[in-house]
Chain A
């Protein structure tokens, strides 16, 4: 069964760095790409970036300077790091592979 699960801190201080982990099961990261998508409260979906199965990445133009996506295939984990967080980065962060989505993790940026 394919599953994705996001984990990370629920609260991050402004200007700090967000680190999230997506732990997957039921498939190999070398066979499928994993995307990160976020959703501010009450707003729409925003594609953040992707870890391709071959190991390369692509990012949302608006976030590219602050965002980094990496992986550990031995642990079936994909990592998201985003620096210089501001209040507008408050959102639910999802990892997804095609039709499969994690439940998301709510991240609040506040002092």
Chain B
């Protein structure tokens, strides 16, 4: 199974600070069809996860453009350019290139 390693496990940021989260895969997530099925989710406390980014860098409808995704192959990054209070929660990367699909272990973002 594909293992996704997320770092850091926790992140503390002030409002307005820019932060990045890394997601590294144990194997390439490039599908034979040319797509890379790596998504980013945010789970706010007490809520189901919310899709932020799909296909590495595509912003889900309604998601603020301070969120951006990048990467290829086995290395991916989620960046928040100017953290806001509502961004607190746990961020997960998830891959659906290879079955079984797998999640990263999560990065908890705290607001200072």
Contacts and interface: CB of A to CB of B under 8 A. Distances in A.
Given A44-B103, A44-B106, A47-B103, A99 B60 contact: yes
A78 interface: no
Contacts of B94: 45, 47
B71 interface: no
Interface in B47-75: 48-51, 54, 60-61
Contacts of B1: 61
A79 interface: no
Q: Sort chain B's interface into a size bin.
A: 20 to 34
Contact of A102 (B43, B48, B103): B48
Contacts of B92: 44-45
A61 B54 CA distance: 24
Contact of B100 (A58, A101, A103, A104): A58
Contacts of A103: 48
How many chain A residues sit at the interface, stated as a range, is 20 to 34
A58 B98 CA distance: 11
A106 B49 CA distance: 15
B78 to A, nearest CB: 16
Interface string A51-65: 000000011110000
Interface of B: 1, 41, 43, 48-51, 54, 60-61, 90, 92, 94, 99-106
Interface of A: 35, 37, 44-47, 49-50, 58-61, 94, 96, 98-99, 101-104
